[in-house]
Structure 1
Amino acid sequence: MERFSEYRIMWVLVFFDLPTETKKDRKTYTDFRDKLIKDGFTMFQFSIYLRHCASAENAQVHIQRVKKNLPPKGNIGILCITDKQFGNMELFVGKEEKKVSTPYQQLELF
């Protein structure tokens, strides 16, 4: 088995739609977003954040952290996909196709 298999490496995507009507709602939104960023998630689109994980086990650690920080109101979705599936994504800006770039730098220490 390859050391870095595109079927073993995972991406965790968090989709959320949180209320922002009141000052308290906006603070809850900001706190949730800040916790995602602190845990290594990167904004992919508005209210869609993603994180690269070395394995399914590592992805589960980060999924549990997201679940621990769920706000009391709003809609939150969590999706875990392989690096191979992520690489098959097609992105468009208007009608122009855009190359899918990975928002991380893979470092190998050993």
Structure 2
Amino acid sequence: MRLMIMFDLPTLTAMDRRNYRQFRKKLLQDGFTMMQESIYTCILIDRQAANLLNNKISLYAPKKGLVQSLIVTEKQFASMNFLTGEKDNSEENTFERLTVI
């Protein structure tokens, strides 16, 4: 599963910019990587983990602005079409299950 966070936050005042920086920093601490300017994704093991992380983010999301979340499967994410640009094949954009015996 992937949890995608998309946001559009105001940056007019010093407090707005501070809230933006803190929100972005917390997303990175929670394991998100930047997909585009204001779109961050995190790979999770199942829907329950995605829902828990989604609830956690709703607690620290800034009150001003717009913050949206979307939970998609790896199959749905892999079927994304690229109209321009190229697919990023870096390690953080792949999903391989690790089995520990």
What is the CA-CA distance between 1:51 and the residue it aligns to? Answer: 0.4
What is the CA-CA distance between 1:70 and the residue it aligns to? Answer: 1.3
Give the TM-score, by structure 2 length.
0.87
**Which residues of 2 match residues 1-110 of structure 1 at below 5 A?**
10-91=1-82, 92-93=84-85, 98-99=86-87, 101=89, 103-104=93-94, 106=96, 108-110=98-100
Give the TM-score, by structure 1 length.
0.81
Preserved CA contact (<8 Å) 2:7 2:67: yes
The answer to which structure has the higher strand fraction is 1
What is the CA-CA distance between 1:107 and the residue it aligns to? Answer: 5.5
Residue identity in the other structure for 1:47: S
Percent identical among aligned pairs is 35
What is the CA-CA distance between 1:99 and the residue it aligns to? Answer: 2.8
RMSD value over aligned CA atoms?
1.6
Preserved CA contact (<8 Å) 2:43 2:95: no
What is the CA-CA distance between 1:106 and the residue it aligns to? Answer: 3.5
Report Cα offsets for 1:48-84 as digits up to 9, x if no partner: 0000011111111111111111101000110000100
The answer to which structure has the higher helix fraction is 2
What is the CA-CA distance between 1:41 and the residue it aligns to? Answer: 0.5
Aligned residues: 97
Unpaired runs of at least 5, structure 1: 1-9
Residue identity in the other structure for 1:40: G
4+ residue segments displaced more than 2 Å:
99-107
Report Cα offsets for 1:1-32 as digits up to 9, x if no partner: xxxxxxxxx11000000000111100000000
